[in-house]
A and B are shown apart, each in its own frame.
Chain A
């Protein structure tokens, strides 16, 4: 077993342990912390695939920004077991169905990735340099420029929506003050 494989197995085991920790821990804060650790190990996998750019962007965007906001919300919400709303049967049923559908999609995606790869060795060390920033940028702005721009418009609309939601409604404030 080469050092690459040892690192891979260590990272994979850590990723799975942390991911299980996310859903098993009772305290929502430790859930978030486990999720951050999971992002770090996934970034480790990206580095193994010679995709440093993806690795660091994963950390900056998810661990550095989105998870901070998650932590924010959870710290301010005061989540105790007695204040937690009891979910009725219908909601639980819907949750099971949507979770199962997600699992189905994921399994299908994994299966599609693997078909045709049986028995093929992938040279991880000399793997393609597609993850390096130069190649990634070229691919994003030539082959995938349309979905890329669509995604940015989507983000822009989400931002505008958030600003509108966050804007103080003068009517409401007046009624509260009266």
Chain B
């Protein structure tokens, strides 16, 4: 049978790859919390964390330790199972998305064997990401409802309606990109953006579909529940938002899953629009360095782009004030969705009449 035909070395390789990806995303998410504070401090003319270690680099470790040591409080009138399920689900879903991302060019070993730096090359990669994103809201909703707190419930309703509204615009905008690429597989979309310049135009999709990128970027802010769309955690109205009743590491899971989501979203943005692991002059590099090094340069390029996006998310957070709820809904339903629809229509017409 098909399922039994996979070899042991393949399984071990994939397990190692998954462990590295998970560990890497957790590590980057951990240092995102540090970077967030540093960026905020620099933008507000402060010093930021500088007590624990050089430049406060051990601050995330100290925070993690603190969260583990805190007393764990579960409200008496809450539904205990769902209360614990909420943060666990948030964490699980945010770790799931990384499975379909191609992290770099295939590794080529000395004996000629090839190892793909992608956990699963499914032919519906983009839809898988949408599926995982649409499930992300359950963690918030279940946890908030199980807290038996009205503020949490209000916050979860905001989060969910925001997520559903912006998923629509996200999906419709992506159709234009999928029409151009003719594939839903992440690997294929990255391969189409090979290099930087081909046939007299840029290969990266951000230059081919700038409006899709714009809509996608705005929607990812909303999907991440991040400023300026962090209505679900609006302190002035909702105490702490959906995690008001949470303490200890369960609170940590909620906060942490947001940072993992931010990292994964940055990777997806760079993969879909900024060429993933492709960079200008990669053919020259491929000809001059060993294949192993070439693969690792690709991974480093992708991570570099992702870090750029993370910093961008942070700059926006400390620059633009929070939207009002009705403004958010107006932007989503009355601006982004029609905009994405018109863009889809024009793209389709251009592809049909000019054959690209």
A59 within 8 Å of B (CB atoms): yes
Q: How far is the CA of A125 from the CA of B4 in the complex (A)?
A: 12
Does A29 belong to the interface (CB within 8 Å)? yes
A20 CB, min distance to chain B CBs, angstroms:
19
Instruction: Contact check, B4 vs A3: say whether CB atoms are below 8 A apart.
Output: yes
Q: What residues of chain A lie closer than 8 Å to B163, measured between beta carbons?
A: 68
Q: How far is the CB of B93 from chain A (nearest CB, A)?
A: 11
A52 touches B122 (CB 8 A): yes
- Is B335 an interface position by the 8 A CB rule? no
Task: Report B-chain residues with C-beta under 8 Å of the C-beta of A53.
Answer: 124, 127
The answer to whether A125 and B160 touch across the interface, beta carbons within 8 angstroms, is no
- Which residues in chain B, 151-170, are within 8 Å of chain A measured between CB atoms? 153, 156-157, 160-161, 163-164, 167
A56/B131 in contact, CB under 8 A: yes
> Interface on chain A toward B: helix, strand, loop, or mixed SS?
helix
Interface centre among B122, B131, B141, B160 (most CB of A within 10 A): B131
Chain A residues within 8 Å of B260, by CB? none
A60 adjacent to chain B (CB < 8 Å): yes
Contact of A60 with B1 in the complex, beta carbons under 8 Å: no
Say whether B131 contacts A75, CB under 8 Å: no
For residue B138, CB closer than 8 A to chain A, the reply is yes
| Residue-wise interface mask of B (127-154) relative to A, using a CB-CB cutoff of 8 A (1 in contact, 0 not) | 1101101110110011001000000010
Chain B nearest CB: distance from A85 CB in Å? 23
Among the listed A52, A65, A76, A125, which residue makes an inter-chain contact with B167, where contact means beta carbons less than 8 Å apart?
A: A65
B184 interfacial by beta-carbon distance below 8 Å: yes
B8 at the interface (CB under 8 A from A): no
Q: CB-CB < 8 A to B156: which residues of A?
A: 75
Shortest distance between the CB of A152 and any CB in chain B (Å): 14
Q: Which of A2, A36, A132 contacts B123 (CB 8 A)?
A: A132
State the CA gap A75–B4 with chains docked (Å): 45
User: A2 contacts which chain B residues (CB < 8 A)?
Assistant: 1
Which residues in B have their C-beta under 8 angstroms from that of A36? 138
Q: B3 near A: Cβ within 8 Å?
A: yes
Residues of chain A lying within 8 A (CB to CB) of residue B311: none
CB nearest neighbor in B for A58: B131
- CB contacts (< 8 Å) of A133 on chain B: these are 123-124, 184
Q: Residues 29-50 of chain A: 1 if any B CB is under 8 Å from the residue's CB, otherwise 0? A: 1000100100000000000000
Interface positions of B from 203 to 231, Cβ below 8 Å from A: none
Tell me if B82 is interfacial: C-beta within 8 Å of chain A: yes
Interface size, chain B (Cβ < 8 Å): 30
Q: Nearest B residue to A36 by beta-carbon distance? A: B138
Chain B residues 302-356 with CB under 8 Å of chain A are none
- Give 1 or 0 for each of A45-83: 1 = CB within 8 Å of chain B CB: 000000011001101100111001101100110000000
Q: Which of A3, A60, A72 contacts B127 (CB 8 A)?
A: A60
Tell me if A112 is interfacial: C-beta within 8 Å of chain B.
no
Using known A-B contacts A3-B1, A29-B82, A65-B164, determine if residue A59 contacts B135 with beta carbons closer than 8 Å. yes
Q: Counting chain B CB atoms within 10 Å of each CB, which of A29, A56, A65 scores highest?
A: A56
Interface residues of A in 10-32 (CB under 8 A from B): 29
B2 at the interface (CB under 8 A from A): yes
A71 to B167, CA, bound (A): 18
Q: Does the CB pair A3–B3 fall under 8 Å? A: yes
A69 CA to B131 CA, complexed, in Å? 16
Q: Write the A139-169 contact mask toward B (1 if CB under 8 angstroms, else 0).
A: 0000000000000000000000000000000
Provide the residues of chain B in CB contact with A111, threshold 8 Å.
Answer: none
A7 to chain B: which residues have CB within 8 Å? 3
Pairwise interchain contact A52-B137, C-beta atoms closer than 8 A: no
Measured in the bound complex, the distance between the Cα atoms of B131 and A169 in whole Å is: 37
How far does the Cβ of B137 sit from chain A's closest Cβ, in whole Å? 6
Q: Is the CB of A68 within 8 A of B131?
A: no
- The 6 A-B residue pairs with the shortest CB-CB distance, nearest first, are A64-B134, A56-B127, A59-B131, A3-B3, A60-B131, A2-B1
7 intermolecular pairs with C-beta atoms under 8 Å apart: A7-B3, A53-B127, A56-B130, A64-B134, A68-B160, A75-B157, A132-B123
Q: Which residues of A contact B (CB under 8 A)?
A: 2-4, 7, 29, 33, 36, 52-53, 56-57, 59-60, 63-65, 68-69, 71-72, 75-76, 125, 132-133
Query: Other than the known A64-B131, A64-B134, A75-B145, what 15 A-B pairs have Cβ atoms closer than 8 Å?
Result: A3-B4, A4-B2, A7-B3, A56-B130, A56-B131, A59-B134, A59-B135, A63-B135, A64-B133, A65-B167, A68-B137, A68-B160, A68-B163, A71-B145, A75-B157
